[in-house]
Every structure is written in C-alpha cells, then in structure tokens.
DNA sequence: TCGGAATAACTACAGATGTAGTCAGTAGCG
DNA sequence: CGCTACTGACTACATCTGTAGTTATTCCGA
C-alpha cells in the first residue's frame, strides 16, 4: 500500500535506490545533471517522500541521511501492475503486442523475453 | 505528440473508443456505473479533452457529438513507451520479469506471449 | 407560443505537483 | 568565542486534476 510517488519524486528515489544513505546535498548533486533542480527543490521532494514514509531519515549531526524504505522491486511491481490493469485490462500480452507493433521490440528483446519465459516455465 | 491525458480523462476516452460519436449525456451514462460521476464532471472532462485536441466535436442541433481524434492504439503505444522508458530504462524484458515475479503472469499469459513472439519472428 | 428541461460555457475550489524562496538554528572555521 | 555558511523547516505559488455548481441559451412538448 505504497502511496503514490510523483514523477519528480521518482527521480529522487532512483538516486537513493542506486546509493544510500545520502544527504540532501548529495542527492541534489546526483540529479543535477539530469534535471537541474535546485537544492531547495530536492529538499522539498525528500521531505515529501519522508512524509509518505517511502524514505527514512537518520540524523547525522546537523543534517539528515536519507534511505529508501521501499524496495525498488516492490515499488515497480506495484506500479507495473496498476499500469497494466488500467490500460490493458490486466493482460500483459496486449502490452507486449503494442510495444512490438510500435517497433519498440528488437530481435534481441524478443530473444531475451523468450529466454525469460522458458525459465519461468522450467 | 499527444498531450498528457489524466486518469479521469482516460476513462472518458475508453468510452469513446468503444463507441463514437456520443453526446455528453451518453458518455455520462456509460461511465456512471464504473465511476459515478455527475454529468457536469463528464462535461468538464470532455471539454478538457477537446481543448487538448484528442477528441473532436460536431454540432448536432443544440448539443455536441464527441469522437476520438486519436486512435486507442496510437495512444497506448505512446504511453507504454514512456512507461517502459521511465521505469525500466526502455527495456521490456525487466517489465515482464517483474510481472512474472509478482505472480502476475499465469501459464496462459506465458503461452500467449510466446505465441505472439513466434508470430513476430515469423 | 410559452415555459420548462436540456445543454454548453464559465466559474469554483481543494488537493497534488513542480519548483523554489525565506527563516532560524547550529556546527565549525578563524 | 563570534560569525558565517550550511541545513532543515516552513512558506509560496502557479499549474494540473478531480469533482462539481451556476448561468445563459435554446429546443421541444403542451
């Protein structure tokens, strides 16, 4: 029952999933390239995430160390589920079909997925 | 380059994709079951969609007939693409893997996807 | 023909979101 | 030991979203 994480908040989460704990400044440094947000913006997002209890804080002197409280896998599974439910009536096949038709699937992708499916059955 | 369609707006689109053209009242009737929105709410959503140019209007006496201007397939392909890009670095395989791990894939799903992939290669 | 019902247009408003500024406290440097 | 720079907390504000009320017009039935 993870609360909804907005797009901007998700960017922050990706950073923390890659490395944690981090201070606000460190997080800001890591998103600076991609997003160019100010330190204040990053702090706002961090505090909103903390309010939603998807990240935790640990005091370190005058500052905080932030860490994810929710696993990336757990989060992605939930979001994927909702996405497939809402747009494809819960069926994955149409999603794969759409991506395929839109030329989003390379031959390599197809081989990879086939491999995965073989393992799933095995 | 379809503008972002919100969740509520998407519900309206699904109705129009299933049958069009429809008047505001007809759309409202069709979403009433699932969402219980008032007629006014539906009209607001319809006019927002018209502003975004994803549906078109045709005058019919004192009222409008609304029809999609964007194909469902086109829209879904775009949204799927963005989704997979943002959450899975553009790769479909991890998405399928996630759904599989979360037990969201039945044996039938797997067989279906395998079938689809076979066709894609053929 | 006239009044009521239907309809589109406009207005409303709270909560979420993106983006940041201001303020007050405090730790560490000089 | 005092001041400055860093830090979290609080405040700000425009836009988007969900959800609807109000208003002005017009068509249709009596």
The per-residue pLDDT for range B43-74, each reduced to its tens digit, is 999 999 999 999 999 998 889 999 999 999 99
Which residues of chain A lie closer than 8 angstroms to B110, CB-CB? 117, 120-121
What are the pLDDT digits (tens) for A28-63?
999 998 999 999 999 999 999 999 999 999 998 889
Our measurement of CA A57 to C1' D1, in angstroms, reads 33
DSSP-derived 3-state class of residue A25:
helix
Instruction: Find the closest chain A residue to B120 by CA distance.
Output: A100
The complex scores an ipTM of: 0.88
Q: What is the pLDDT of residue A42?
A: 98
Residue A28's alpha-carbon distances to A39, B63, B98, in angstroms, are 6, 52, 29
Taking the CA of residue B39 and the C1' sugar atom of nucleotide C4, their distance in angstroms comes to 19
Residue numbers 50-89 of B with CB closer than 7 A to any atom of strand D:
61-62
Mean pLDDT of A75-89: 89
CB atoms within 10 A of CB A73: 13
Beta bridge partners of A59: A64
Is the confidence at residue A103, as pLDDT, over 70?
Answer: no
- The rounded distance, in Å, linking the Cα atoms of A23 and A29 is 10
The CA–C1' separation of B61 and D26, in angstroms, is 10
A102: pLDDT strictly greater than 80: no
- B99 pLDDT band, cuts 50/70/90, is confident
Tell me which residue has tokens 């395998």.
B114
A62 Cβ nearer than 7 Å to chain C strand? yes
A41 CA, C21 C1': Å apart: 10
Local confidence band at B1 (pLDDT 50, 70, 90 cut-offs): low
Q: Which residues pair with A22 in a beta bridge?
A: A66
Domains and CATH numbers, chain B: 7-68 (1.10.10.10), 72-121 (1.10.4040.10)
State the Cα–Cα distance between residues A116 and A22, nearest whole angstrom.
34
Contacts of A121 in chain B (CB under 8 A): 107, 110
Is B81 in contact with A104 (CB distance < 8 Å)?
A: yes
Nearest Cα to B116, choosing from A110, A102, A80? A110
The reply to whether the CB atom of residue A51 sits less than 7 A from any atom in nucleic acid chain C is: no
Which positions ≥6 away from B38 have C-beta within 8 Å? B28
CB contact under 8 A, B87 and A105: no
What is the average pLDDT score of chain B?
Answer: 91
Indicate the residue of A86, A92, A100 with minimum beta-carbon distance to B109. Answer: A92
Cβ proximity of A113 and B93 under 8 Å = yes
What's the pLDDT score for residue A40? 97
Q: How many residues does chain A have?
A: 122
Q: What is the pLDDT of residue A1?
A: 64
Q: What residue has token string 């964007």?
A: B70
Q: Is B109 on the interface with A (CB under 8 A)?
A: yes
């Amino acid at each position: 029952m993870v609360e909804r994480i907005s797009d901007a908040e998700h960017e922050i989460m990706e950073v923390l999933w890659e490395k944690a704990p981090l201070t606000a400044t460190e997080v800001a440094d890591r998103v600076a390239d991609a997003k160019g947000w100010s330190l204040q913006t990053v702090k706002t997002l961090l505090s909103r995430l903390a309010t939603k209890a998807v990240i935790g804080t640990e005091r370190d002197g005058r500052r905080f160390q932030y860490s994810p409280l929710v696993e990336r896998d757990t989060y992605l599974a939930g979001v994927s589920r909702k996405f497939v439910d809402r747009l494809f009536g819960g069926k994955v096949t149409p999603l794969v079909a759409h991506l395929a038709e839109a030329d989003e699937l390379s031959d390599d992708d197809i081989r990879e997925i086939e491999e995965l499916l073989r393992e799933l059955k095995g």
